[in-house]
Structure 1
């Protein structure tokens, strides 16, 4: 084995020498200054951090690409410079192999193996490519040019660059283990169903909440333009009035038959109206005008124009609704999530920081803060007593798997997504954070994730409050979660090739 390794190293050294000499014989051109400048710009990854700052200036995939790239560069740089170079000392190419016009005035003196510049370039390009493939035609040639510049200027052997690039690309790919890629797309639906056709919105009652969203825009005009015959219901004047009861009273007291319900607002408003629609068997129009619009996004509510087409033709999809029964406030319905413990605080912190930091970093920071501040809750699950930091129950299975559920790829599978973090194992918080950061949650004793149609939890010591779709319910000592398969019809205009079974 040792003889085989020695022979492989000798062959690599001979090949490196031939390639460097071949590069050195290239005629002098203006490209020499360009490659030298690229290498200087990429010192300490400043070039990549500058591009990442530009990418992060826009929300969406480019911002996620920037965050993943910065983390990947940090990992690649640490591995190459603080691990690889001390372990594998190697001389740099002799200066006489390269013409003076190409050489740096003060060339690096650390170990030649591996190339930190190539590692950082490959980490950046790979990370950006995973999140924003459309940016690859721009960043990939730049990354290749930076990597080659290390040979062109005579500060690295070709094998240093090749190994550095493999190292950087591998580090970037490894981030997927604990930071999964998400497509952020709508949930997959099986097939369309028929719903009540509404000509110009006749028979449609829409709750339009002007207080939803960060801009505070009144959606009344938007609703009137798309459904001229619809009746528009304003929120109650008294903010303490239950929104769900307000809608129920409007339906019961309507002089004209209500054939469908609509809602223009954020997730809290949508949840209240969706509950009434499901209970009364009425189809629902969702007009996303809130800040985050989780439910509207997962059912691909679309624009008011497309929703108007769906109501005109009577096209809809069916989605599940979750219910929770307890000794505090009776039975409540939820379209997104229900939770105990510190999870509501986690969502609040994450949503506050997400516009600045992006989803994953905001979720990680929120998790650290909640685990630091939370008090464990003693519960009984499946007949076994546990202590938990936080407990999450989702209507449908959320992605990604792990501590930061973001979106659902289907909402008609009849399953609840149950996740909780145990507090009754030694060093549970540190162990959970370590497993989350290394992508090993599925092996961690501190984390439990299940998919089941029903779930029961009893509190051992005291009553606690339950958060349902972002609203805090009265405290209770026991809770029974179930799913009601396809209990709600949502008007939806199908896009081409959208339904998959």
Structure 2
């Protein structure tokens, strides 16, 4: 559908969503909206109390987290207006979806520019058989890669190997492409070698989360399709993040989350470990106090900081976890500073909430009142001496991807009603011009 028709659909659905509330609920619509917003705020405050306290307070907060949305639901049912709320929410979701789709057509694709790529003569691939629950074996990646002429090294989980050293030896031996079937941490280590040696890098989406593959538009359901880049591929230039001398393709985290993942108990029981450690971390009874400098902006005492290779989308829930671009030449910085339940509730406002700082910079320095800080770098737990310097290397990595891939990222910008309205009005004016002409 044409972007301008999508803009009109968005405005129409949004208008009908409001009219449904007004026509069938009348003045009670104000109460319905207010009750829903209050329920969300109380639930967010309850989540904060669950995370920041132990014992009786945590138990009572957990009851509140469950009871608040149930109470709102009961209110809607008692008023006989549950169907009105559901219909209105459905229409509103349609309005936002159509509006964002309309704006995609306005802003165009966000993917880096593709360049023609010759077939590599000596590709070298490293595969972790345990990644993603055994995707290497499930999709027969070793056999398929070797049939395409690649040399494959399968890691032995019982005997950890230095994958960066493996990659360097391969390049010294004549490899003209490096690739990894594994998690993002392994991807980053080998990507650093590929950037250092100036050869292409191949991402095979065989990990658990595959965040880097997601933003490259690769098929995360069938990693074998990534191998098509060896025979019918194109090349992208993307940025790399560095924390000290270590590469990251996704992000580096500091503060509460980074401290939790350092615990030996985290891998065996994630939920219990988080609940045991977060109260002291969030209330600053343990862990160093962070000080962050991002360009000209300073953040004092955030509980958590995320530095990403290009900024994450923050405008709406549909964008969370995605990066619109991988070639902006900027680090994304998210800082969380929440001291009480009220601030936790205000974080529902997203980037406008007082507890959340979102910005961009080319360099970020993490300091602390300690000689070292714990960090999570693409999911790997590290301890780094302070101050920690994060920087971005624009266009440092040549990535080889299939010419045809299912998730080529497009700029799906934050919903902007003014831009949607202007797009729809432009269509109306164009139609009137044709009629009078």
Q: If the length of structure 1 is used for normalisation, what is the TM-score?
A: 0.55
Partner of 1:412: 327
Q: Which residue of 2 aligns with 1:297?
A: 214
Change (3 A) 1:324 1:264: same
Inter-partner Cα distance in structure 2 for 1:236 and 1:208:
9
**Match in the other structure for 2:305:** 391
Is the Cα contact below 8 Å between 1:337 and 1:469 reproduced in 2?
Answer: yes
Q: For 1:150-204, what per-residue CA distance to the aligned partner results, in whole angstroms no more than 9, with x for missing partners? A: xxxxxxxxxxxxxxxxxxxxxxxxxx9xxxxxxxxxx931320244422xxx400
**2:81 maps to what in 1?**
116
C-alpha separation between the residues in 2 aligned to 1:220 and 1:391?
Answer: 37
Distance 2:258 2:298 in 1: 24
Which among 114, 137, 154 is matched to residue 234 of structure 1?
154
User: Where do residues 34-433 of structure 1 align in structure 2 (5 Å cutoff)?
Assistant: 77=73, 80=76, 115-122=80-87, 125-126=90-91, 188-198=110-120, 202-215=121-134, 217-218=136-137, 221-228=140-147, 229-235=149-155, 239-252=159-172, 254=173, 257-302=174-219, 306-325=225-244, 331-344=245-258, 371-374=278-281, 375=286, 377-382=288-293, 386-401=300-315, 405-422=320-337, 428-433=339-344
CA distances 1:87-146 after superposition (whole Å, capped 9, x unpaired): xxxxxxxxxxxxxxxxxxxxxxx7xxx64243344256447757999xxxxxxxxxxxxx
Deviates more, 1:217-226 or 1:428-437: 217-226
Change (3 A) 1:294 1:72: farther
| Cα 1:436–1:347 shift into 2, 3 Å | farther
CA gap 1:260/1:384 in 2 versus in 1, 3 angstroms: closer
Structure 1 residue 400 displacement after superposition:
3.0
Cα shift at 1:370 = 6.9
Can you give the 5+ residue segments of structure 1 that lack an aligned partner in the other structure? Answer: 1-14, 17-69, 82-109, 134-175, 177-186, 326-330, 353-361
Pair 1:434 & 2:364 matched: no
Match in the other structure for 2:27: none
Residue equivalent to 2:16: none
Counterpart contact for 1:262–1:285, Cα < 8 Å: yes
The alpha-carbon distance between structure 1 residues 431 and 415, as it changes in their structure 2 partners (threshold 3 A), is farther
Q: How far is the alpha carbon of 1:77 from its aligned partner?
A: 3.6
Q: Indicate if the aligned counterparts of 1:456 and 1:481 stay in contact, CA closer than 8 A.
A: yes
CA distance in 1: counterparts of 2:223 and 2:167, whole angstroms: 21
What's the CA shift for 1:401? Answer: 4.8
CA distance in 2, matches of 1:267, 1:276: 14
Instruction: Give the drift of 1:415.
Output: 0.9
2:378 matched to which residue of 1? 469
Instruction: Write the deviation string for residues 305-333 of structure 1: whole angstroms up to 9, x where unpaired.
Output: 654443324511111100111xxxxx111
- Residues 219-248 of structure 1: CA deviation (Å, up to 9, x unaligned): 683243245211001225664443323332
Number of equivalent positions: 324
Q: Is the 8 A contact 1:322 1:395 kept in 2?
A: yes
Shift of residue 261, structure 1, vs aligned partner = 0.8
| Cα contact 2:312–2:321 (8 A) shared by 1 | yes
1:474–1:247: structure 2 CA closer, same or farther, 3 Å change rule? farther
Q: CA deviation at 1:460?
A: 2.3
367, 384, 400: which one aligns with 1:491: 400
**SS of equivalent residue, structure 1 residue 189:** coil
Distance in 2 (alpha carbons) for counterparts of 1:495 and 1:237: 33
1:489 Cα deviation from its structure 2 partner: 1.5
Q: Work out the CA distance in 1 between the residues paired with 2:168 and 2:211.
A: 23
Contact conserved, 1:465 with 1:475, CA < 8 A, in 2?
A: yes
Larger relative contact order, structure 1 or 2 (CA cutoff 8 Å, min sep 6): 2
The answer (yes or no) to whether the contact 1:190–1:500 under 8 Å persists in 2 is no
| Residue 448 of structure 1: aligned partner | 357
Match in the other structure for 1:91: none
1:80–1:489: structure 2 CA closer, same or farther, 3 Å change rule?
same
* Closer, same or farther: CA 219–319 of 1 in aligned 2, 3 Å: farther
The structure having more radius of gyration, on CA atoms, is 1
- Is 1:73–1:123's contact at 8 Å kept on the other side of the alignment? no
Task: Supply the distance in 2 between the matched residues of 1:300 and 1:71 (Cα, whole angstroms).
Answer: 40
